[in-house]
Amino acid sequence: MSNYKIIFSGPVGAGKTTAISALSDSPIISTNEQATDMTREKKRETTVAMDYGIMKLEGDERIHLYGTPGQERFNFMWEILVEGGIGLILLLNNNRPDPFKDLKFFLDSFEDFISDTAVAIGVTRMDEAQVPSLPDYHEYLETENRKFPVFEVDARERADVSLLVEALLYSLDPGLEA
């Protein structure tokens, strides 16, 4: 049996728990607690340790899906969760005040992990905020001398989140067939 581990990260409200729920073939384990800080203005509950689900592939292969807390004060969990991971799916909420600031912060925070693995970026809530656009994200990444796959995704849709997983796996091994 082959087991792989993918990490989902991003700011509060980007859809990490929702994306893992959409992909998992079993009920997810979640460590959501009532938000008590400024997060409560955005949502009632927030992840404080991790989310976990399993995506079953052909045969006995499994992808273990780990979601990090979005709040920087829980960043000690980020270092724990990336151990043994094959890559990062970074979700960004396009409706936040400065999605590029979020993008830079998370890419910098996971820089060591990404340099050893790969990253695929999913932008959520583009229906609520059309700016920045996907070309704007590509242009921003280019100015940072970074080239990563970026997609508009609805974290509730399994097909959208699966596309991110496929892009991540392809980034790791361009010889893979979809």
Q: What confidence score (pLDDT) does residue 78 get?
A: 85
Cβ atoms 93, 85 nearer than 8 A: no
Q: What confidence score (pLDDT) does residue 65 get?
A: 96
Q: What confidence score (pLDDT) does residue 176 get?
A: 60
Q: Map out the domains of the chain with their CATH numbers.
A: 3-172 (3.40.50.300)
Over residues 111-143, the pLDDT tens digits come to 999 999 999 999 999 999 999 999 999 999 999
Tell the burial category of 135 from Cβ atoms under 10 Å away from its Cβ (0-12, 13-18, 19+). exposed
Q: What confidence score (pLDDT) does residue 95 get?
A: 95
Cis peptide before 132 (omega within 30 of 0): yes
Cα-flanking dihedrals φ and ψ of residue 120, to 5°? -130, 140
Three-state secondary-structure class, residue 26: coil
Q: What confidence score (pLDDT) does residue 177 get?
A: 54
Cβ atoms 117, 88 nearer than 8 A: yes
Cα separations (Å) of 15 from 22, 93, 94, 104, 127? Answer: 10, 8, 11, 18, 14
3-state secondary structure 78-133: HHHHHCCCCEEEEEEECCCCCHHHHHHHHHHHCHHHHHHCCEEEEEECCCCCCCCC
Q: What confidence score (pLDDT) does residue 165 get?
A: 95
Which portions of the chain are predicted below pLDDT 70? 1, 31-49, 175-178
Q: What confidence score (pLDDT) does residue 142 get?
A: 94
